[in-house]
Amino acid sequence: MDKIQKDNRQWKEELDPEVYSVTRERGTEAPFSGKYYKHKESGNYVCSNCGLELFSSKAKYDSGSGWPSFDDPVAKDNVDLVPDYSHGMSRMEVVCAKCDAHLGHVFDDGPQDTTGKRYCINSCSLDFKKENK
């Protein structure tokens, strides 16, 4: 996938401060605070920075974590996984494949009847596009 080339100064001008701090400074929004953690409409979640489709509402489930949780991305190529050893933990970071926005992390405690994965994603990293009927 062709990457969007923008430096952080440009992103800072375009994004609102909370979105910037999560997606460009790898922040984490407080659990149970984000606008999508309880969101249940049908449609697609896209990258809040570049609009790339990331997750379908069909893959969303309630993990109880307080962050939007998905068991699969819309396409494997739309997210990149990056080993993350920050904060004394060993985790797999999930970033947008097109613009490198920090999205969240993926864990292996997802639903056993599907992929077993839990993509734990910040609401700030997402925008929602309602399904066209």
Tell me which residues touch Fe ion (CB under 5 A): 47, 49-50, 52, 96, 98-99, 101
Nearer to Fe ion, 94 or 120 (CB): 94
CB of 70 to Fe ion, least distance (A): 16
CB of 62 to Fe ion, least distance (A): 25
Nearer to Fe ion, 14 or 62 (CB): 14
Nearer to Fe ion, 51 or 116 (CB): 51
- What's the residue count for the chain? 133
Which residues have CB under 8 Å from 98's CB, separation 6+? 1, 2, 3, 4, 47, 50, 52, 78
Helices H, strands E: what count in the chain?
Answer: 2, 9
Enumerate the active-site residues.
Answer: 120
d(Cα 83, Cα 133) in Å, to the nearest integer?
39
CB of 95 to Fe ion, least distance (A): 8
